[in-house]
Amino acid sequence: MIEDTFQYDFEEERHFNYLACDEFELVSHIARFTSAIWQVHAFGDGKVTLGHQGKVA
């Protein structure tokens, strides 16, 4: 599942035309792409594991 999601996101990214964007569109696209890949992680419930000191492990 994770591999499929990354494959989809990066395939969409490969087809994006950065040269056809103005500065605002460019920043917006990068933010959307970053957000999409940031949300993909091994914890299916959306939680992260915390260490004993409350730091992300």
Residues 6+ apart with CB under 8 A from 26: 18
Can you give the pTM of this predicted structure? 0.63
What pLDDT, on the 0 to 100 scale, is given for residue 20?
A: 95
pLDDT category of residue 46 using cuts at 50, 70 and 90: low
- 27 CB neighbour count, 10 Å cutoff: 11
What pLDDT, on the 0 to 100 scale, is given for residue 43?
A: 64
What pLDDT, on the 0 to 100 scale, is given for residue 53?
A: 55
> Which is more confident, 48 or 4?
4
Cα three-residue angle 55-56-57, rounded to 5 degrees? 105
